[in-house]
Structure 1
Amino acid sequence: MLKQKMDLYWDFNACHLVLEFSEDKWALLFCLYMDFSWQVMRGSWIPQINPWALSLPIVVLMSGLVMCVGHAGVMAIYLYQRKISASFFQKFWDWSWQEYALYDLQEMIRYVYTVTNSRVFVIGYSQGTIISLAAFTEPDTVQMVGAAALLCPITYLNHMTARLPLRLVKMHLTQVLLAVGIHELNFKSDWGTRIMEMMCDRHVDCGDLLSSITGKNCCFNSSRIDFYLEYEPHPSSTKNLNHLFQMIRKGTFAKYDYGFWKNLKHYGQLKPPKFDLSQIPSSLPLWMGYGGNDALADVTDLQHTLKELQSKPDLLYLENYGHLDFLLSTRAKEDVYDKMLAFFDSLGTHSSY
């Protein structure tokens, strides 16, 4: 591994500088982070969420890799504070993880690839793995990727057991919100707070809110839960959550379903096209870490994913780990990150498959 200046670059303006002035431009790790529901724990890449020695970005940097953190999400600008038309506001939030995969991630990888003239290492977590695997089915994108490590990998959600998301699916919440014109999904808004209060009073035991969303987690510091919830959940788009709920209902890994007639307009066919995992080259090195207590990235669904891939990824299975443990466990460095970095190290400073 190369030993580089230990700085963390949070956006692509700063990232451009480190890549331009790095002596070894081909040593790069591009980290993508998105989570499953409502952008939950998006801030977890940032060391303020975890002690520095336990934070994945710091662990990666200390390994010697230059790292850029991709901001695939929209900017945190509250448009309702400005004089912006309702039609523009609707268009602003008209996206799901599909757009992240086919546009945002592709362009970020292309940028880093162009500057470094080297394939990019990608790390994805939770929804970040949905985005990454969908993007890797595109030949123009995957040819720029040297290897990928996927934490809590998801493409299918047939067997997910998380109580709160399942209840929201049964309520058809996202469809109702879209029908009444609510396109920004913000559970810290007045209406969002009321919905959560109703859910917790009548349908779901929210005494442990994180467990109701992600399932049981074994190994993070539970005394910090209130601290985590100060930052979460972040606003997202209603369409994005609706896309995820479509995956749960239909059991497919496919593009957004607009309904028969709108699908004809968007895709030229009645049903949304599926993302074909067999299109990911067998030569692309993949590493996956998953847990036995994960209520979102279920083990059975992962087996479905593995059957459709041409390659045989390196697998790390931790029976007692839940969804959040892969980011927040006090033992994550030893249990997960060191093994993930050993995978990258085994490929050399870049992959030339």
Structure 2
Amino acid sequence: DVPATIDYVLNYTKADKVNYIGFSQGAGTFFIMCSERPEYCDKVGLFIALAPAARHTNTKSLPYKVLAKTINSMEYVLNLCGMQEVFSKGALSQEFLAFFCQFHWISELVCGTAEAMFDSFHPGSIRKETLKVLFGHFPAGTSTQNMARYGQSMNSDRFQKFDYGSYKNIKLYGSHEPPSYNLSAVSAPAVVIYGKNDRLVDERDVSWLLERLPNVMEAVRVSDPLWNHLDVTYSHLTNHSIFPKINNYLLKYSND
């Protein structure tokens, strides 16, 4: 999808290069694209990685770890039952949250606490009104294999391809173990922005990633010590926590 999107934008705008901003898995997919199809990295003038998800060796979120590891261990059974998607929008659990979190006193007390327990607590960062909108659309579904891959990444100190088991790995990869993605192929100029209080993408894994990216212009740890993973998309504090840095780089790497 990412190469197709890049080609579409370049064909439509007639620009020479595109600037790419990836949050979490959106950054992870960019790393994979550069590893697998490096010619597309050459089409990117600037890459801004927000809380980039590569390996998850040091993930601290207990609910996230239990969820991903459980799905990984049960993936074969879930597939046999025809469950290729989990947490789909419109499912009973999502519809319940959408209704439940609309109540003013519940949205922050219960739904806000649930969101914080999944990531980390940052009082006052995500407003009640945002929580109401958020849970009207979240979760919106993902593939079972995608969640299983995150479960696998928590058991490894590498950023690697999907582990299908020794027999299928040999057929697909020619080795018992899945190969690592080639992070040295991420040649586009990169700016990495992350938070100290992120319990999904731990800063130790970000440091590991930074040591392997070949063209990091700047690594920015948000000054707010409570800045976490979901703040990137839902906090009302983004206008001074991360937007100025993003805007400065976009202006620098954009044509008039």
TM-score by length of 2: 0.82
Shift of 1:180: 3.4
Cα deviation 1:166-192 (Å, max 9, x = unaligned): 122453344542343311213563589
- Which residue in 1 is equivalent to 2:6? 109
Alpha carbons of structure 1 residues 170 and 134: separation in structure 2 relative to 1, 3 Å: closer
- Which residue in 2 is equivalent to 1:213? 118
Shift of 1:332: 0.6
What's the secondary structure of 2:191's corresponding residue?
A: strand
Shift of 1:291: 0.6
- Which residue in 2 is equivalent to 1:329? 235
- Which residue in 2 is equivalent to 1:159? 58
Cα deviation 1:125-154 (Å, max 9, x = unaligned): 111011112212232210111111111112
Figure out how many residues of one structure are paired with residues of the other and give that number. Answer: 235
- Which residue in 2 is equivalent to 1:285? 189
RMSD of equivalent CA atoms: 2.5
Alpha carbons of structure 1 residues 278 and 142: separation in structure 2 relative to 1, 3 Å: same
Task: Name stretches of at least 5 consecutive residues in structure 1 with no aligned partner.
Answer: 1-103, 194-204
- Which residue in 1 is equivalent to 2:166? 260
What's the secondary structure of 2:57's corresponding residue?
A: coil
Correspondence list, 1:171-320, <5 A = 171=70, 172-186=73-87, 189=91, 208-218=113-123, 219-281=125-187, 284-318=188-222, 319-320=225-226
What amino acid is aligned across from residue 151 of structure 1 in structure 2? Answer: L
Task: Name stretches of at least 5 consecutive residues in structure 2 with no aligned partner.
Answer: 96-109
Alpha carbons of structure 1 residues 259 and 307: separation in structure 2 relative to 1, 3 Å: same
Structure number with greater CO (CA < 8 Å, separation at least 6) is 2
Alpha carbons of structure 1 residues 259 and 323: separation in structure 2 relative to 1, 3 Å: same
- Which residue in 1 is equivalent to 2:24? 126
Deviates more, 1:238-247 or 1:113-122: 113-122
Alpha carbons of structure 1 residues 221 and 125: separation in structure 2 relative to 1, 3 Å: same
Cα deviation 1:243-267 (Å, max 9, x = unaligned): 1111112232111111111122222
Q: Stretches of 4+ moved more than 6 A in 1?
A: none
What amino acid is aligned across from residue 5 of structure 2 in structure 1? Answer: M
What's the secondary structure of 2:194's corresponding residue?
A: strand
* Identical positions, percent: 24
TM-score by length of 1: 0.61
Distance 1:348 1:190 in 2: 44
